[in-house]
Amino acid sequence: MGEKSAQKKKHILDKARVVFSEKGYKNVTMKDIVDVCDISRGGLYLYFSSTEELFLAVLDNEFDEDDEEAVAAALSGEASAGDMLALFLKEQKKSILRKKNNITIATYEYFFNHKVSSKDNPLKKQFNTAVTIVEKLVENGIENGEFYCENPLGFARNLMYVVEGLKIMSKTCSISEEAIDNELMYILEGLVPEE
C-alpha cells in the first residue's frame, strides 16, 4: 500500500472510530462513514467491504498501538514496579471514566452479537496483553521486594476482570471515580508485603 493510500485508510479509521463511539456498532452504516470521511462510496469500498470489517480494523488499530507501548514500558524496568502499576491503573481508570470518543459500547454490542473465535478476538487479545503486563509488573515487584504475591498470573487476571467489570458498570450504570478507586485499592491491598 502506497503512502497516500495508507494515509487515506488511517483517515477512514480515525473518522470511523468517532462515528462508532457516538452511535455504537449496530447503528452505523457505510453511508455514515462516507459522509463523515467526505469520500465516495466506491472510495470507501476500496478499503473496507462492510461496517463489520471496518469496525474490526478500528479495534485492531486501537489495540495494537496501545499494546506495543505498554508491554515495552512494563518490561523495561526503568521505573519501579509500583510506579509502573500505578501508571497502568491510571490509564485503565481514564478508559473507564472516558465519556467522549469511547468505543466500549460499540465493542460490547459487536461481541455480544457476533461469535468470534478466541484466536481472532481483539478484545481477548487486549485482555491477555493487559494480564501479561500486570503479571510482569507484579513479578518485577516481587523480585525487588515491593510486592508479595504467591500467584502473579492469578492476581493479574483477577485485576483485569475487575477492570472489565468497572468498564461495563461505567457504561450501563453510573459509577463514581471514588467507587473505582475503592475497588482497585481493595485488589491492590493483596500485594502489599506484611511487615
Domain around 123 = 52-191
pLDDT at 103: 87
CB 149 within 8 A of CB 190: yes
The overall average pLDDT reported for the chain is 87
C-beta contacts of 103-107 below 8 A and 24+ residues apart: 103/17, 103/20, 103/21, 103/58, 103/59, 103/62, 104/167, 104/171, 105/24, 105/25, 105/171, 106/20, 106/21, 106/23, 106/24, 106/25, 106/28, 106/55, 107/25, 107/59
Percent of the chain having pLDDT more than 70? Answer: 90
Q: Is residue 171 part of a domain?
A: yes
CA separation for the pair 152, 137 (Å, rounded): 9
Give residue-wise pLDDT tens across range 170-186: 888 888 999 999 999 99
pLDDT at 158: 96
Alpha-carbon torsion, ordered 185, 186, 188, 193, to 10 deg: 120
Q: Is residue 57 part of a domain?
A: yes
Judged by average pLDDT, the poorest of 54-63, 64-73, 110-119, 143-152 is 64-73
Q: Is residue 97 part of a domain?
A: yes
CA separation for the pair 37, 17 (Å, rounded): 11
For residue 74, name the pLDDT band (cuts at 50, 70, 90): low
CA separation for the pair 133, 88 (Å, rounded): 9
Q: Is residue 36 part of a domain?
A: no
CB 93 within 8 A of CB 176: no
Average pLDDT over residues 10-25: 94
Q: Is residue 1 part of a domain?
A: no
pLDDT at 190: 83
pLDDT at 71: 58
Predicted TM-score (pTM) of the model is 0.78
Highest-scoring range by mean pLDDT, 26-40, 51-65, 86-100? 26-40
Identify the CATH number of the domain in which residue 101 sits. Answer: 1.10.357.10
- What total of structural domains would you count in the chain? 1
